[in-house]
Amino acid sequence: MTKLLLVRHGQSEWNAVGKWQGQADPPLTEFGMEQASLAALEIPDFSILACSDLQRAQLTAEIFADSKGWDKNRIITESRIQERDAGAFSGLTREEINKQFPGFLKNGIWPDDWESDEDLLIRLWKGLRRIINDAEGDSPIVVVTHGGCIYALESLCGGEYRRIPNLGAQWFEVEGKEIHLGDRIHLLPPEEETYPDQI
């Protein structure tokens, strides 16, 4: 059995202004970097540290590595654990989406170029398998990824939707081809948490 801790990256510049990101690549804010430094103090010891290739996840992972004295060159960067492609919603605020796509958010309707859960999970699982294949020993694997990826895996495991803050984290256990839901944990004190309502 492999224990995976999937961590949402720190606050990005688009998180801070309410823009939906998807696979766009805005950097962390200074506050996001501070969040990652605080969260690093709560990260368990790990055998592998991995992240998506979007810079908000990469920098969060690098901050974790620095805090733990981990060689940043050992971080596994995996493009398949990128955020969901938000299609036409990317770069828009909730207000802008409601103007350009009236009723979509209210009724759970997505643009035609929105990445489905099925497509997201296929690539995400391939990316996680590649990371797991490098595991040695019993120490957990820490993966810095994105809210949409965590939500999709939680749903696959039968979990209910709950908003996850920047630097929120979710445990999973992988046995063979099966993945099981563990506990949701908070790596930041409440006053340091930010809850972007978009991916």
User: Which residues does the annotation mark as catalytic?
Assistant: 9, 83
> Could you tell me the strand order of the sheet in which 48-51 lies?
76-77, 48-51, 141-145, 2-8, 168-175, 178-186
Amino acid at 112: D
Residues 6+ apart with CB under 8 A from 76: 48, 49, 50, 51, 130, 131, 134
